[in-house]
Amino acid sequence: MSALLEVEGLGVSFPLGGWPARTLRAAHDVSFSVDRGELVALVGESGSGKSTIARAIARVTPAAAGAIRLDGVDVLKTEPRGPSQAYRRRVQMVFQDPFASLNPVHRVLHHLERPLRLHGHATGADARSRAAELLDLCGLRPGADWLDKWPHELSGGQRQRVAIARALAVQPDVLLADEPTSMLDVSIRTDVLRLLQRLRDERGLAVVLITHDLAAARLVADRVLVLYAGQLMEEAPAATLLSAPRHPYAQLLVAASPRVGRSLDHDLPARPGRPVVVDPGSGCPFAARCLIAEPRCATVDAPIVEVGPAHRARCHALTG
Amino acid sequence: MADVLLTVRGLEVSYLTADGPVRAVEGVSFDLRRGEVLGLVGESGSGKSTLVRGLLRVLEPPGAITGGDVHFDGIDLLAASEDALRALRWRRISIVPQAALNALNPVLTVGAQIVETLDAHGETSPTRARARAAEVLELVGIDPTHLRSYPHELSGGMRQRVALGLALACGADLVVMDEPTTALDVVVEHELLQRVAALQAQRGFAVLFITHDLLLLDALADRVGVLYSGRLVEIGPADVLARGGRHPYTRGLRAAIPPALGEDRVPVALDGSSPNLRSPPSGCRFHPRCAAADAACRVTETTRRELGPGHLVASHEEAP
């Protein structure tokens, strides 16, 4: 049986114009799947394409290549002109900035009531009690007390809970959370991450967590996918990826992440540089920074190879 | 003590609003020795940015210093004239801001900005200023060919390094760093912190490092101060605070952070959020969120107690 959400060979590019025309390749040949009751983290730095991939799955950014299958149906084929209302209901997104994602001139209730009514999940007075339940679920208890508050009365963490409650109002199957904690204070990040985990466990949601923070991914994700310059470099169970990364870029990311007893004396295992996403050509995008790069790395796309149970990486050095 | 460079005593900074003054920083006292790296950590609303602006005398109205003393190498900073301050800035006290993109002038080349700064602070020969500008870039690991680059042509990490170079260009004794790595990816952050640590060791300037990231200070700082709701609740040697610290807020903050790599613990979220400064809680400001709070905490102000060499904590006398 196939997984709930399958992404295969996804490519997203943006034309930049100019003469000769240049193209920004934001995502290239990205494949992964997320099942019900699973939380998968897409980890990468700026320019890695992690948000673009989420937006392509939400279909707010058009995909240039590949397939996005929900319950085995490739929606890029069946709904080529844009997502159906049914798809938009089943795949919901939570954004990074909780200060921008709520409308300042509407109370909390309005944000929850609208999706409930538009998607036919509640009418009249029923909407109010359903909205209160959603807030309860998201840790604003008792929910009824929060319905009449204005966004400006809420802290960042509380707003993010409202944003998550709004996404849940339409009973989605997939929740795409784009850096939901990066604008929150450290002391409340854990709580919001735990909420995503609870939704996975109690509601069987498939959660895709977009983050730059390996510690956050390690805390709540079942699997971690590492992206660089729009390509999937490595995928592994969270514990494996953090303890035994195989791709040189994943190793760099792990080495640079905060750790107990970190010292600033050791040099990172890579040359400085940035991902090249404008007209990148073929070859491994990390080759120029990689300490073990071979001549073929700069010219030939590396294949994804299995390196262990549920563990794969895209590197020539691992092909033997 | 002769080796104390900056003395802050009972500093109070308020925002004079139409509804009366809001005290954003209150009773903050600490010393910074020559060549020392002092980290100040705080969440949003802790007053860390207000504190820095206050002691550098760059507060904008309605912000105003409403009490306390700040002495820099024997000079009363709060009484100093604008001319006296101008003589200190860059030559003796400099700042690395959070977002270097906003701190650099977009229409001037990097070289022109460094030359301008040197020129304004005592370098009279244009030829020598240009040569020194090249040295400044080399100091922070940027190829001098970038003297001709405009800020937008540099990556975020390079811009931040230019800002670091500018701050060091005139040989300041005190470099204030206001969240210099917040906008950077982990790999670039590690590279910048490494460079700060190396240059600090080599040149011996003192650093006041403001951040919301407690883990970052473990590796960088000699001492760490923790701000909560405008007050310094604990200050002590970095290794003592790295082991957890004493104040319930310090301990709670560390416990709430997702575990770093190599750390095996279950994070415990800190309930509640920072108090509203317009109506702060009585007694210890942390008491509404503190699991160890008793009746005294709710009514009595805390006092500073010394727990070890250079380790001060705001607490009640009867606390262990």
Q: What is the ipTM of this complex?
A: 0.86
Any CB–CB contact under 8 A between A158 and chain B?
Answer: yes
- Answer yes or no: is pLDDT of B154 > 90: no
Mean pLDDT of chain A: 93
Which candidate in B257, B289, B290 is best for mutational testing of the A interface (most A CBs within 10 A)? B257
Any CB–CB contact under 8 A between A270 and chain B?
Answer: yes
Distances (CA, A) of B314 to A98, B272, B306, B311: 33, 20, 9, 10
**pLDDT classification of A1: cutoffs 50, 70, 90:** low
Lowest mean pLDDT among A273-277, A301-305, B40-44, B258-262: B258-262
CA angle A149, A150, A152 (to 5 degrees): 125
d(Cα A124, Cα A117) in Å, to the nearest integer? 9
- Beta-carbon contacts of A241 under 8 Å, excluding residues fewer than 6 positions away, are A224, A226, A234, A235, A250, A254, A311
Domain ranges in chain A? 5-84+91-100+210-258+265-318
Is residue A269 helix, strand or coil?
A: coil
Instruction: Tell me the two tokens of residue B58.
Output: 């760059």
Across the range B174-191, mean pLDDT stands at 89
- Beta-carbon contacts of A179 under 8 Å, excluding residues fewer than 6 positions away, are A51, A96, A210, A211, A212
**pLDDT classification of A63: cutoffs 50, 70, 90:** very high
Residues of B within an 8 Å Cβ radius of A: 43-44, 155-157, 185-191, 193-194, 197, 212-216, 218-220, 252-253, 256-263, 267-270, 273-274
| Shortest CA distance from B275: residue in chain A | A155
Instruction: Tell me the two tokens of residue B136.
Output: 């400044």
Residues of B in contact with A45 (CB under 8 A): 185-188
- CB count within 10 Å of CB B307 equals 15
How much is the pLDDT for B101?
65
- CATH dotted code for A5-84+91-100+210-258+265-318: 3.40.50.300
| Shortest CA distance from A269: residue in chain B | B187
Which candidate in A51, A161, A186, A243 is best for mutational testing of the B interface (most B CBs within 10 A)? A186
Amino acid at B305: R
Residues of A in contact with B214 (CB under 8 A): 186
Minimum distance, in Å, between the CA of residue A54 and any CA atom of chain B: 19
Across the range B64-79, mean pLDDT stands at 94
Check A257 against B185: CB less than 8 A apart: no
- CB count within 10 Å of CB A72 equals 10
Question: For the domain B4-92+172-230, what is the CATH superfamily, name and number?
Answer: P-loop containing nucleotide triphosphate hydrolases (3.40.50.300)
Minimum distance, in Å, between the CA of residue B42 and any CA atom of chain A: 9
Instruction: Tell me the two tokens of residue A172.
Output: 């989605």
Any CB–CB contact under 8 A between A48 and chain B?
Answer: no
Instruction: Tell me the two tokens of residue B155.
Output: 């990556």
- Answer yes or no: is pLDDT of B317 > 60: no
d(Cα A105, Cα A88) in Å, to the nearest integer? 25
Check B261 against A213: CB less than 8 A apart: no
Left (φ > 0), alpha (ψ -120 to 50) or beta: where does B291 sit?
Answer: alpha
Alpha helix positions (H), B204-245: 214-220, 238-242
| Shortest CA distance from B238: residue in chain A | A261
Across the range A23-44, mean pLDDT stands at 96
- Beta-carbon contacts of B287 under 8 Å, excluding residues fewer than 6 positions away, are B281, B293, B297, B298
What residues pair up with A69 in beta bridges, in sequence order? A6, A74
Give the residue from B167, B157, B162 showing the smallest Cα distance to B104. Answer: B162
The model's pTM is 0.90
d(Cα B306, Cα B246) in Å, to the nearest integer? 11
Lowest mean pLDDT among A11-20, A91-100, A115-124: A115-124
Give percent of chain A with pLDDT exceeding 70: 99
Q: Which among A45, A185, A219 has CB closest to B267?
A: A219
Q: Which among A194, A257, A264 has CB closest to B220?
A: A264
d(Cα B168, Cα B160) in Å, to the nearest integer? 13
Residues of B in contact with A267 (CB under 8 A): 194
Model confidence pLDDT, tens digit, residues B90-148: 899 999 988 766 788 999 999 999 999 898 887 778 899 999 999 999 989 899 999 99
Alpha helix positions (H), B16-106: 48-55, 82-88, 100-103
Check B273 against A260: CB less than 8 A apart: no
Q: Which among B187, B263, B273 has CB closest to A252?
A: B187
| Shortest CA distance from A45: residue in chain B | B185
Q: Is there a contact between A217 and A209 (Cβ–Cβ < 8 Å)?
A: yes
The H or E element spanning position B293 is none
Minimum distance, in Å, between the CA of residue B135 and any CA atom of chain A: 20
